[in-house]
Amino acid sequence: MQQADRHIDINSFNYDLPNERIAKFPLSERSGSKLLVYDNGTILESRFASVADHLPQGAMLVFNNTRVVRARIVMHKASGARIEVFCLEPHKPADYERAFAMRGEGEWSCVVGNLKKWKEGEIAIDFELEGEAYRLTAEIVERGTREHIVRFRWSADLSFGEMLELLGRIPIPPYLNRDSEEIDNSRYQTVYAKYEGSVAAPTAGLHFTPELIASMRDKGFGFEEVTLHVGAGTFLPVKDENAAEHPMHTEHFTVTRATVAELRKNIGRIVSVGTTSVRTLESLSALAWRIKSGGEPECERVVGQWELYSIPEDFTGEEALSTLEEYMTSHGLEQLKAATQIMITPLGYRFRIVKYIITNFHQPKSTLLLLVSAYVGEDWHKIYDYALSNDFRFLSYGDSSLLKVDR
């Protein structure tokens, strides 16, 4: 199918979401949320603490172990004007690990709140550390349409990651319509978060507790981790009437050779915890097909929005993972770092690696709802009608669903 032939009426993916159904705060207990189980057309209601009861024995769950950074910094001009700088991704250096380790200076791609008050010059925030006074300044060095390159400079002997932990705020989703609070510092973060880089949480994982994970391990379930740094683009609404024209945002991901090997052994029973894990896992097929057809994964080239749709039907997930594992082994690679723009839609998308999906309930007319539809088909209406009619809580701090389709 050519790009010009692709058409998705975004209005077909709309539904009425009353404001009171959006969970503004998390429940007191992570695993106490409700769980909607969709099993090949049948719906039943459970509790997330019992998720293991609805999964096949020996299933392997895949977590996204990214960590949300305190990416919102409130600063002020000399005039007193309040400016909010929202760090989206590193610019110089562009690598997350190096960018967080920088001392003294670094550049980030940012969204700026109250930009009209910041025409030029520096803005700053003053702070104290162990009785000494310090300052963090910011200057726009390159203006864009939505995002701007901001150069930060600071006098304290801290890394930029430490600066954000000290001065930044957790960037909770805009649809919560509130400022972040103390509870968000811990609850808008999965219990297995490790690697800093996200500006939004992989929210399907928020329901897991250490106790639940340990209990599932004891019952024979496997766990693997991938890393995809969630960008603010995940909240961008689809404005095009034809959703196929919506430009997908880029998100960076990392997968280890050990994980690829375990995924290959467990193909057919892989449970993706969240849509970010889905995007990471499915993008591996694109890297593998590049190896199969050209000899190299070309990780420096972003996995394109429609790239996976052009892969031959008979190229299976098991073949993809075997190809990737063999390449990494022969080249002595312990991990692959790449980026993806894939858009998973009902336009004939084939899931090669993901078998089942755990996910929250998503916004109307969103790319995440398109992904759910690509997996369950038109039954997404049935799922969301049930959730709305049975007091499920929606969006990031809301309840969860387990989607199971046998193909």
The predicted-structure confidence for 308-349, as pLDDT tens digits, reads as follows 999 999 999 999 999 999 999 999 999 999 999 999 999 999
pLDDT of residue 77: 86
pLDDT of residue 314: 95
Query: What average pLDDT does this structure show over 191-198?
Result: 95
pLDDT of residue 210: 98
Tell me: do 218 and 360 sit in the same domain: yes
Q: What contacts 33, CB < 8 A, 6 or more positions away?
A: 27, 47, 48, 207, 393, 398, 399, 400
Q: Is residue 160 part of a domain?
A: yes
pLDDT of residue 332: 98
Tell me: do 10 and 79 sit in the same domain: no
Q: Is residue 268 part of a domain?
A: yes
Tell me: do 144 and 251 sit in the same domain: no
Q: Is residue 288 part of a domain?
A: yes
Mark which of 103, 138, 168 sits at the end of a domain.
168
What distance in Å separates the CA atoms of residue 208 and residue 186, rounded to the nearest whole number?
Answer: 13
CATH of the domain at 345: 3.40.1780.10
Specify the pTM.
0.93
Mark which of 139, 168, 197 sits at the end of a domain.
168
What distance in Å separates the CA atoms of residue 274 and residue 62, rounded to the nearest whole number?
Answer: 9
Q: Is residue 173 part of a domain?
A: no
Tell me: do 16 and 162 sit in the same domain: no
Tell me: do 263 and 400 sit in the same domain: yes
- Whether 251 shows a pLDDT value over 70: the answer reads yes
Q: Is residue 155 part of a domain?
A: yes
Tell me: do 30 and 11 sit in the same domain: yes
Structural domains of the chain, count: 2
Mark which of 141, 168, 195 sits at the end of a domain.
168
Tell me: do 384 and 367 sit in the same domain: yes
Contact 171, 199 (CB under 8 A): yes
Q: Is residue 14 part of a domain?
A: yes
Q: Is residue 274 part of a domain?
A: yes
Q: Is residue 260 part of a domain?
A: yes
Quickly state the pLDDT bin for 79 (edges 50, 70, 90). Answer: confident
Number of H helices, E strands in the chain: 9, 17
Query: What average pLDDT does this structure show over 279-303?
Result: 97
pLDDT of residue 232: 78
298 burial type by CB count under 10 A (0-12 exposed, 13-18 middle, 19+ buried): middle
Q: What is the pLDDT of residues 122-131, one digit of tens each?
A: 999 999 998 9
Tell me: do 62 and 77 sit in the same domain: no
Residue 17 domain boundaries? 3-67+185-404
Tell me: do 259 and 115 sit in the same domain: no
Upstream peptide bond of 171 is cis (omega within 30 degrees of 0): no
* Listed range (83-92, 252-261, 283-292) with the worst mean pLDDT: 83-92
- Whether 235 shows a pLDDT value over 80: the answer reads no
Average confidence score pLDDT of the chain: 95
The single-letter code of the amino acid at 273 is V
pLDDT of residue 62: 98
Q: Which residue, 342, 201, 234, is CA-closest to 284?
A: 342
Tell me: do 20 and 96 sit in the same domain: no
pLDDT of residue 1: 47
The single-letter code of the amino acid at 109 is S
What distance in Å separates the CA atoms of residue 344 and residue 364, rounded to the nearest whole number?
Answer: 16
Contact 387, 21 (CB under 8 A): no
- Whether 4 shows a pLDDT value over 80: the answer reads no
Tell me: do 212 and 139 sit in the same domain: no
Tell me: do 207 and 318 sit in the same domain: yes
